[in-house]
Amino acid sequence: IEPGHKVAIKPIAAGEAVVKYAQAIGRATQDIAPGEHVHSHNLVFESGRLPVVPPSEAEHATEADRKRTFMGYRRADGRAGTRNFIGIIASVNCSATVCHAIADEANRTILPKYPGIDGFVPIVHGQGCGMSGTGDGMMVLHRTLAGYARHPNFGGVMMVGLGCEVNQLTLYGQKGVA
């Protein structure tokens, strides 16, 4: 089954509404067996003619009668993490080996001394050098690495670069990431 496509989890009769995430998305044009692919070959959309699916009981749940908490880490910006990792982020593919070596050594020698740290994690990729400094590719790389750097499960990050890459570390400092 292709990503984003659907599979029937129960028998659906021809003419019956097909429901996904509590919403009618179309009508079966033929009988559909459990496990069968549901797509345009056996489903038709009828704008304005589909049944309204009643809301589930979960939508009417009441607030818990006591305050709920969990063992997490409140970050300076108010977000909460469930882990306390230190990220070792490569700015460029060429520094990936160094990031792995730093994380391995830190996990071996530093981690045992700090029970409040869950581990040192290398974040590596195959980009950052030999690519345009502008455009979609660089934008996606910046967003992805910044997402890791800002993730609440990281108590801190260290970015590692070589200095010659297009994806310069100073760009992250200018954006308040590093």
Question: Which CATH number fits the domain that encloses residue 150?
Answer: 3.40.50
Whether residue 84 sits in one domain with residue 162: yes
> Is 117 a domain residue?
yes
Those residues whose C-beta lies under 8 Å from the C-beta of residue 68, and which sit 6 or more positions away, are none
Give the start-end residues of each E strand in the chain. Answer: 6-7, 17-20, 23-28, 37-38, 43-44, 73-74, 80-81, 85-90, 119-123, 154-160
Whether residue 152 sits in one domain with residue 111: yes
Whether residue 54 sits in one domain with residue 107: no
Whether residue 156 sits in one domain with residue 89: yes
**56, pLDDT greater than 70:** no
Q: Which two tokens stand for residue 142?
A: 């910046």
Whether residue 130 sits in one domain with residue 78: yes
Q: What is the DSSP letter of 117?
A: -
Whether residue 27 sits in one domain with residue 110: no
Summarised one tens digit per residue, pLDDT across range 119-177 is 999 999 887 777 777 777 777 888 888 888 889 999 999 988 887 777 666 666 666 66
Label residue 51 by pLDDT band (50, 70, 90). low
Summarised one tens digit per residue, pLDDT across range 80-134 is 898 999 999 988 888 899 999 999 999 999 999 999 999 999 999 887 777 777 7
Owning domain of residue 27: 6-60
The secondary structure of 34-81 as a DSSP string is: TT-EESTTTEE--TT-SPPPPPPGGGGPPPPSS----S-EE-TTS-EE
> Is 67 a domain residue?
no
* Higher pLDDT among residues 4 and 39, named by residue: 39
> Is 14 a domain residue?
yes
Short-list 169, 176, 177, CA closest to 91: 169
Structural domain count, the chain: 2
> Is 45 a domain residue?
yes
Q: How far apart are CA 79 and CA 67, in angstroms?
A: 18
What pTM, to 2 d.p., does this model score?
0.58
Q: Which two tokens stand for residue 153?
A: 């499960």
Distances (CA, A) of 47 to 16, 19, 26, 79, 136: 15, 14, 9, 41, 36
> Is 66 a domain residue?
no
